[in-house]
Each structure stands twice: as C-alpha cells, then as structure tokens.
Amino acid sequence: MTPVFGHGHLRLYLLSLLDESPKHGYELIQALGDRFGGTYVPSAGTIYPRLSKLEEEGLVSKSADGRKTVYSITDVGRAELHDRESELGGIEDEVTDSVRRLANEVRSSVNDAMRSLRADLAAAARDAQAESREAGRRIRGDIGDARVQSRTNLQDAEILIADFRHQLRSELREWMSHGDLAAETISVLRGELERVRKAVTESLRQSDR
C-alpha cells in the first residue's frame, strides 16, 4: 500500500487534531480513522513515536488522566501550526485523494475475493453433484455394499465441507490481517452458501428418484 501522508505531513496533521482539543493516543487513532472513512487506521506504532518526537520538540505536552495519557498542543506547537497554516489545505486535499485511492484498492481487493469465492463455491457444488451421481450409480449394486458406500460418501462429503471451511477461514483471516471485512462480503457468502445448499439438496433429490 502506498504511503497515505507525504513526508512530515502526519506530524503537522496530528498538531491540527490536537489544536481542536486535547486527546489521548487512541482518540487520535480514532480521529484519523474517521477522517479516512475507516479505509486507513494508523497503528499505535505509527502514532506514539511521533507524539514522543513532538513532545521532545516542545510542540505538545502530556498529562495523566487516570490510566490514560492525554496530549495537548503547546503555544510553541500552535505557533508552528500558524506558520504552516497554508500547508494544511494541501494536506486536506492529500487526505481526500488518499481516501479515494484506498477506497479503490479496497473495492478491487473485495471484487477479487468475491470472484475467488464464487469459483470455490461453484467447484464445491460440482464436486458434491459428482459425488451424489456416483452414489446413485452404486445404489444399483448390492444393498449392503450400497450402505457401506453411502457411509463412505458421507465421510467424503464431510471432508469436503471441512476442507472448504478451513480454506475459506484461512483466506478471511489473512484478509483481516491487512484490511477490513466488508458487509458486502458476508452478504455474498451467505447468498452463495445458500445457493450451494439448494444445489446439493436438489442433487440428493434427483439421486433418490
């Protein structure tokens, strides 16, 4: 992912947020996440070192509020913010462009994930139908053998379902490690799983005729 802020711009943006009101670190992270519509949420490892640097330079001060540390802009910080006020407009435009870019990246990633999910679900449905047809052919044999084979088919079906569940959970957890899980994804998952369930049910009914 390309950088969200240009060099030194996050530092100035943090000063502008603190100029609105004192905040603790988590509130600053939330404020940035809100400005980016959730497409970018900085880590604590990104924010706190910059706050420490700002404090060293005398631009912010910190105080204890229970177990929380609250950061406030100092007069020196306000002076720098005033001197660089013309840059803030450019940074706001930069943030707007970054939001659009990040939204496009998320949209593209979700679309790719949906195509992959549809392909996996379609393959699972075809496998289930093939297993069902094979089971139907075997039923014409000895009833005892058919029952044994039916139990084997059930085990195969359970293995397929477990394997699909494991692979999909891994993909979802991998995605969550570097992005948010959209409600659209859950909606597609629900719809596609229902479609597969209906296809498998219909295949079972046909094999029973």
Q: What integer is the mean pLDDT of 39-53?
A: 86
**pLDDT of the residue at 28:** 93
Q: 98 falls in which pLDDT band (50, 70, 90)?
A: low
Q: What is the CA radius of gyration of the chain?
A: 28
Of the two residues 80 and 184, the one the predictor is more confident about is 80
Distance from C-alpha of 161 to C-alpha of 164, rounded to nearest angstrom:
5
Q: Which residue is it, tokens 């980016």?
A: 36
Each domain of the chain, given as residue ranges in start order, spans: 9-83, 106-207
pLDDT of residue 56: 95
Please state the rounded mean pLDDT for residues 154-160.
77
CATH of domain 9-83: 1.10.10.10
Q: To the nearest whole percent, how much of the chain has pLDDT over 70?
A: 61
Mean pLDDT over the full length of the chain: 76
Residue 195 above 70 pLDDT?
yes
Burial class (CB in 10 A: 0-12, 13-18, 19+), 50: middle
Q: How far apart are the first and last CA of the chain?
A: 55
Length of the chain: 209
pLDDT tens-digit readout, 60-74: 999 988 888 999 999
67-95: average pLDDT:
85
Q: What pLDDT sits at residue 1? A: 46
Which DSSP symbol is given to 72? E
User: What is the average pLDDT across 24-38?
Assistant: 84
Give pLDDT, residue 145.
63
What's the pLDDT at 133?
62
Measured CA to CA, the distance from residue 84 to residue 59 in angstroms comes to 13
The larger pLDDT score, comparing residue 195 to residue 139, is at: 195
**42: pLDDT confidence band, cut at 50, 70 and 90?**
confident
Q: Is 189's pLDDT higher than 50?
A: yes
Q: Which has more pLDDT, 77 or 151?
A: 77
pLDDT digits (tens, 9 = 90+) for 100-116: 776 676 566 655 566 66
